């Protein structure tokens, strides 16, 4: 029944049928961190987590930085494209209007943000999930003033929602001794604290109109280049990976329970841990040749926490799993997006109006 509902919604989108009395599309509202940010942090003047330097965005559009922490598309970009949905603009995009929201949705994701308010404080400015939900509440009021209560509720309840956070709560909070959470909780206690907080946040989103919602699980965080370079062996940090698995298991169960208790809710879990883990362990199997170091780096100076104009690029970006110390490449994101689509049985509308795919990776400017 849930699959049929999603397919029906996507069919309505493809046909351009209005919702209620307004000319509204089926759109996405995206909540997340740097893996989903499409430019919000670009507009945070004091924020330290930014993707506004070359070579970010080199394989996207005009090749200039656009706020994505990647050389190309995010996972949410790719899933939306393949479902025939418009790409939601960043909430802080100065050109955003009510009409744009009703035609494209909104992306509230913020690099450095977490489920917990205390996560990533050393980035100075970032949107936590609570803040993103607050911004969504304000968005709802703008829409309500334009089209009225009934049509707003109808529009929001037919929209699709993506929530993709959690890695920063571990890497930029629990695993750093400077944060009190690291010595206040043991591993199980912190995962419970995190999932209890997420449950409360998703309940708020439901009260604001969210009905069709997907939460992305965490990948093997202990295998990102930053974690490897900080280990004594250069290998994956299994303690960090176990935290990701514990979070995924607890979140999946929580979503199943929440979906059964909230009226008309279809809250689902998008898990790609196994395929990412296999990709990192066996990159050649998937057409890659490097899964342990970043494509964009400062050579032997590591960790290089961000990509800058002086960074050296790998010769073939399509063969690297990781773009920088934290984030996957466009090619890796596509593999993960395809796995989520497959496992969740997401329908493809076949719309010809979806944004085009990222271009094939060109040779490195240094290569």
Is 356 part of the annotated catalytic residue set? no
CB 327 within 8 A of CB 306: no
CB 232 within 8 A of CB 261: no
CB 38 within 8 A of CB 67: yes
Domains of the chain by residue range: 2-217+234-273
pLDDT of residue 342: 93
Banded model confidence at residue 9, pLDDT cuts 50, 70, 90: very low
pLDDT in tens, 318-336: 999 999 999 999 999 999 9
Q: What is the rounded distance in angstroms from the CA atom of residue 223 to the CA atom of residue 244?
A: 11
Asked whether the predicted pLDDT for residue 22 surpasses 70, the reply is no
The structure tokens 């329970």 sit at 257
pLDDT in tens, 291-302: 999 999 987 778
CB 160 within 8 A of CB 85: yes
pLDDT in tens, 205-262: 999 999 999 999 999 999 999 999 988 899 999 999 999 999 999 999 999 999 999 9
Q: Which residues pair with 294 in a beta bridge?
A: 322
Is 206 part of the annotated catalytic residue set? no
pLDDT of residue 183: 92
CB 273 within 8 A of CB 218: yes
pLDDT of residue 355: 53
Class for domain 2-217+234-273, per CATH?
alpha beta
2 vs 68 pLDDT, higher one = 68
pLDDT in tens, 155-213: 999 999 999 999 999 999 999 999 999 999 999 999 999 999 999 999 999 999 999 99
Marked catalytic residue, from 34, 246, 259, 297: 34
H or E stretch covering 216: strand 212-216
Is 327 part of the annotated catalytic residue set? yes
Marked catalytic residue, from 169, 324, 331, 349: 324
Helix (H, G, I), strand (E, B) or coil at 365: coil
pLDDT of residue 2: 40
Asked whether the predicted pLDDT for residue 102 surpasses 70, the reply is yes
Marked catalytic residue, from 318, 327, 331, 347: 327
Phi/psi class of residue 234: alpha, beta or left (left: φ > 0; alpha: ψ in -120 to 50)?
Answer: left
C-alpha closest to that of 187 among 171, 197, 175, 198: 175
pLDDT of residue 300: 76
Banded model confidence at residue 83, pLDDT cuts 50, 70, 90: very high
346 vs 31 pLDDT, higher one = 31
Asked whether the predicted pLDDT for residue 25 surpasses 90, the reply is no
What rounded mean pLDDT belongs to the chain? 90
Q: How many CB atoms lie within 10 A of CB 330?
A: 25
CB 330 within 8 A of CB 338: no
Asked whether the predicted pLDDT for residue 356 surpasses 70, the reply is no
Segment 326-347 shows an average pLDDT of: 95
CB 236 within 8 A of CB 278: no
């Amino acid at each position: 029944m849930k699959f049929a509902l999603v397919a029906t919604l996507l069919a309505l989108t493809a046909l351009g049928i209005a919702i209620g009395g307004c000319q509204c599309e089926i759109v996405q509202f995206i909540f997340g961190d740097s893996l989903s940010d499409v430019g919000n942090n670009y507009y945070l003047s004091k924020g330290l987590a930014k993707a506004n330097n070359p070579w970010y965005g080199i394989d996207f559009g005009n090749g200039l930085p656009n706020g994505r922490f990647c050389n190309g598309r995010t996972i949410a970009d790719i899933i939306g494209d393949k479902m025939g949905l418009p790409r939601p603009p960043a909430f802080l995009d100065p050109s955003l209007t009510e009409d744009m929201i009703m035609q494209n949705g909104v992306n509230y994701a913020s690099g450095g943000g977490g489920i917990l308010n205390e996560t990533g404080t050393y980035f100075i400015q970032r949107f936590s999930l609570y803040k993103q939900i607050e911004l969504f509440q304000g968005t709802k009021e703008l829409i309500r003033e334009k089209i009225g209560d009934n049509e707003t509720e109808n529009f929001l309840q037919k929209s699709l929602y993506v929530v993709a956070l959690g890695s920063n709560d571990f890497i930029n909070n629990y695993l750093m001794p400077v944060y009190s959470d690291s010595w206040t909780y043991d591993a199980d206690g912190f995962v419970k604290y995190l999932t209890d907080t997420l449950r409360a946040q998703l309940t708020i989103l439901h009260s604001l109109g969210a009905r069709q919602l997907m939460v992305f699980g965490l990948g093997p965080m202990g295998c990102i280049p930053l974690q490897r370079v900080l280990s004594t062996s250069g290998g994956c940090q299994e303690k960090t990976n176990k935290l990701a698995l514990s979070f995924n298991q607890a979140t999946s169960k929580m979503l199943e329970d929440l979906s059964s208790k909230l009226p008309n809710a279809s809250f689902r879990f998008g898990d790609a841990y196994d395929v990412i883990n296999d990709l990192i362990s066996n990159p050649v199997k998937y057409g890659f040749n490097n899964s342990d170091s970043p494509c964009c780096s400062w050579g032997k100076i590591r960790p290089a926490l961000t990509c800058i104009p002086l960074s050296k690029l790998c010769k073939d970006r399509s063969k690297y799993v990781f773009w920088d110390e934290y984030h996957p490449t466009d090619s890796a994101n596509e593999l993960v997006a395809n796995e989520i689509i497959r496992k969740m049985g997401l329908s493809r509308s076949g719309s010809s109006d979806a944004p085009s795919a990222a271009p094939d990776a060109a040779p490195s400017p240094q290569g």
